[in-house]
Structure 1
Amino acid sequence: MLSWPAFDQRAVHEEEIMDDFSVVDDRLETALRDIRITNWLLGGYGPSHRALRRFMKPARPHHILDLGSGSADYPAHLVRWADAQGLDVRVDALEANPVTADHARAYLDQALPGRLRPRVRVITDDVFTYTPDQGTRYDLAHAGLFLHHFPDAELIALLKRMHTLCPHGLVINDLHRHPVAYASIWLLARLLPTSPMYQHDAPLSVRRAFTQDELMRVVHRAGYASAEITWHWAFRWVVQAHPTRPALP
């Protein structure tokens, strides 16, 4: 039965099952599948694509660092979309959980045609300690449904690091903490044939998510000189943040 929690602050001290790296069985693979289905059903990819597009220039290649990629569904959709737009986009999908990273590689092998598969590289590493290979330079960072996993202090440190690694901009696509969003995902998770892990984590993700002021406060405290936020269905905040200017040189 649906309990009715408080929404006045983020539930950052309650843990999602997916954050437990000891969960390596079929529960993880099924939950990753459920996330992909929900993102597709609720239009979660398009807002990220459109926000990233504002930073891009057609005449040059773009290298994007995707944070906490999970099964790399955002990078897969991004390179397909970019190819259709005539844009040269390559993505490094950063994922700390080695088992999830293996699922991501398998998913990309199935989801992308052979000519696009090399455009996404899955890297198993922690976002707080990741050091790019010598010669690797990123233009932009993207965080899709990732930031709500961290308390504010860790978020600020993370975004400051992105400020250094991806100097031209950052796009955040994350959840809006709202009672309607919570009730809707609770119901959807039970109407669809989703896993118990997803049924636990999806509503909790909403409770761990952000109000507009909370998310913008974190972005500004991380040192981004300019940022704008827009609301998208279904209950998503999309932030476009840049240290100095909105476009690549």
Structure 2
Amino acid sequence: MSTVPGFFDSGFLRQRDDTATELMDDHDGDVAALARTYERFRLVNAVVSNQRAVYRRWVRPCLSPTETRRVLDIGTGGADLPRALLRWARADGLRLEVTAIDPDARSLDWALAQPADPGLVLRRVSSSELADAGERFEVVTSNHVLHHLDGHQFGALLADSERLAADGGIAVHADIERSRYGYAGFALGTLPFSRNLLAGSYIRADGLTSIRRSHTAAELAAVLPPGWRVRRGIPSRLEVVWEADA
């Protein structure tokens, strides 16, 4: 628990630390460590991100066994979420295409080097470029993106999401909720794996930094534009949601 001095101080994590920087955001960082981070995201996110809950609650109800529906994953990183969504949709006999986008060429290069997955479209493009081009999706989503954004970027993402899901779609952006419980849980839960499964990756250090950068439900509710709402999930999860027909 010594990763951040002052953890036991009553004020620790009371305020969002938007000045903290994640190691994987350093474009001059260790390429091998970044690759190992993308590789292990699939395992870690399966535990901490509750991606299956996002699929069951938001994606699966929009899918069809006869018509291909489209999902957009913004800031996809190594594209572990899109691959999971496609795997679950196939198991349910539903037709799905996931467009996964990220402005970081490093993540797209890594994702493109992995085995092809039917229904997965990887593009280095921004959400605003897709919206300007008239692209539309049944579901617009992201995972662990919101805490990376400043105020202007946050507002732009929500505005883009509304345009991209305008024709009866939904947008749901999932992220961590900042809390001492979540921080302690991640710190203790990853400690046994720091010298084996997570060794040589950025996951443990950046995960703790992510929690410090993340919002609380009250903080997000105070800044969301009309039509958006925030709901809590487990474990220490937040979902920022917009529904075209709501």
Query: TM-score higher than 0.5 here?
Result: yes
After superposition, residues 105-120 of structure 1 pair within 5 angstroms as 105-107=112-114, 109=115, 117-120=117-120
After superposition, residues 19-98 of structure 1 pair within 5 angstroms as 19-23=25-29, 25-42=31-48, 44-53=50-59, 55-58=61-64, 60-98=67-105
RMSD between superposed Cα atoms in Å:
2.3
SS across alignment from 1:130: helix
CA contact (8 A) 2:68 2:95 kept: yes
The whole-number CA distance in structure 2 between the counterparts of 1:45 and 1:85 is: 16
The whole-number CA distance in structure 1 between the counterparts of 2:185 and 2:38 is: 19
Distance 1:106 1:133, change over 3 A: farther
Note the alpha carbon deviations across 1:91-119, whole angstroms, 9 max, x for none.
Answer: 11001111211111233x1xx6xxxx230
Distance 1:196 1:105, change over 3 A: closer
CA contact (8 A) 2:62 2:138 kept: no
The whole-number CA distance in structure 1 between the counterparts of 2:133 and 2:99 is: 14
Q: What residue is the counterpart of 2:6 in the other structure?
A: 4
The whole-number CA distance in structure 2 between the counterparts of 1:50 and 1:214 is: 26
Distance 1:204 1:44, change over 3 A: same
SS across alignment from 2:118: helix
Residues paired across the two proteins, number = 233
CA contact (8 A) 2:41 2:80 kept: no
Which stretches in structure 2 are left out of the alignment for 5+ residues? Answer: none
The whole-number CA distance in structure 1 between the counterparts of 2:201 and 2:82 is: 26
Which stretches in structure 1 are left out of the alignment for 5+ residues? Answer: none
The answer as to 2:214 corresponding to 1:215 is no
1:17 positional shift: 1.2
Q: What residue is the counterpart of 1:143 in the other structure?
A: 142
Note the alpha carbon deviations across 1:110-164, whole angstroms, 9 max, x for none.
Answer: xx6xxxx23011111234x433696743222111111111123321121111111
The whole-number CA distance in structure 2 between the counterparts of 1:179 and 1:226 is: 26
1:78 positional shift: 0.2
TM-score (norm 1): 0.83
Distance 1:165 1:34, change over 3 A: same
CA contact (8 A) 1:51 1:171 kept: no
TM-score (norm 2): 0.84
% identity of equivalent residues: 24
CA contact (8 A) 1:65 1:141 kept: yes
Q: What residue is the counterpart of 2:233 in the other structure?
A: 231
